[in-house]
Amino acid sequence: MKITAGGVVAAEWTKFSSLRSTWVTTGISVVLLIAFGAIASASFAGDNLSAVDLALSGSTLAALAVGVLGALLGASEYTTGMIRATLAAVPRRLPVLWSKSLVAGLVAVVVMTAGAFAAFAVGSAVLNDKVGSLALGDDGVLRALFGAGIYLGLVAVLGVALGMLVRSSAGAIAILAGLLLIVPGLAALLPNAVSEAITPYLPSNAGSAVMALTQSEGALAPWTGLAVFAGYVIVTLVAAAYRLKKTDA
């Protein structure tokens, strides 16, 4: 029987949708985004953040959660040994990587975009009276909310690529956490001139630029930052594709 691209995607969707852990992780990512946005909106007492910035303040933890989701999807078959059966059914191999990435990315984009809008709605409802409210039609609001969904979708794809590159869920999650959480902190310890030059281009800083309503000094423009982050994802996918094609499962 001929294996079609649609058939591979359908198979990966079946694997994804049949595992309770994937839906638990997806649910956690949405809860984190909404809950932290609501808490930040209700408790913030300063005057230098917008309603959108506050609503999306849980995006860092949500990114880690969707990244874990992608890493599990990418590496779990190596852990169980089922990858041999998968590659026997799809001898060209690369469609497996593309299909896993597509499934994880699309699910994350759809779910997290909805989560971003929900976080904005909930945050606006409990907004501290010291922060000015915003409507969806205000400049940059829709871009930030849709951008959040796209960024988090790309994080899920990055997780898949890392999972299939290192072939270990724990290893992929550790690398992902390092890239998103630890590296920015380490960069801040560098001399100011060096830190200011590289910080905007770090993965999480570049990707999250699309969610900011106003850009801080030195930050990348919204879509430029997202494009830089997409570049990191593409490089990781290429590396994973090379290893998948050239080495044994």
Using one digit for the tens of pLDDT, what is the confidence trace for 148-194?
A: 999 999 999 999 999 999 999 999 999 999 999 999 989 989 998 89
CA atoms of 133 and 50, how far apart (whole Å): 8
**What residues make up the domain containing 95?**
20-246
Residue 13: inside a domain, yes or no? no
The verdict on residue 14 lying in a domain is: no
pLDDT digits (tens, 9 = 90+) for 39-81: 998 888 776 788 899 999 999 999 999 999 999 999 999 988 8
Highest mean pLDDT among 14-23, 135-144, 157-166, 189-198: 157-166
Q: Judge whether 5 lies within some domain.
A: no
- Cα angle 210-24-165, degrees, rounded to a multiple of 5: 65
Residue 227 lies in a domain: yes
Q: What is the pLDDT of residue 2?
A: 67
In this prediction, residue 109 carries a pLDDT of 97
Residue 137 per-residue DSSP state: T
Query: How far lies 9's CA from each of 4, 84, 138, 185, in Å?
Result: 9, 17, 38, 38
Rounded to an integer, the average pLDDT of 208-213 is: 93
Question: What's the total number of domains in the chain?
Answer: 1
Choose the weakest-confidence range: 1-5, 17-21, 53-57, 96-100.
1-5
Residue 11 lies in a domain: no
Say if 156 falls within a structural domain.
yes
pLDDT higher than 70, residue 202: yes
- 3 occurs within a structural domain: no
pLDDT for the residue numbered 1: 55
Least confident of 71-80, 212-221, 225-234: 212-221
pLDDT digits 0-9 by tens, 1-10: 567 888 899 9
- pLDDT, residue 132, reads 72
For the segment 25-37, what is each residue's pLDDT rounded down to a tens digit? 999 999 999 999 9
Q: Which amino acid would we find at residue 62? A: A
Distance CA 24, CA 55 (A): 22
C-alpha to C-alpha distances, 177 to 9, 61, 124, 171, 243, nearest whole angstrom:
27, 10, 30, 10, 22
Distance from C-alpha of 108 to C-alpha of 190, rounded to nearest angstrom = 34
* 116 part of a folded domain: yes
pLDDT at 219: 86
Q: How confident is the model at residue 221, as a pLDDT?
A: 94
Euclidean distance between CA atoms 223 and 64, whole angstroms = 21
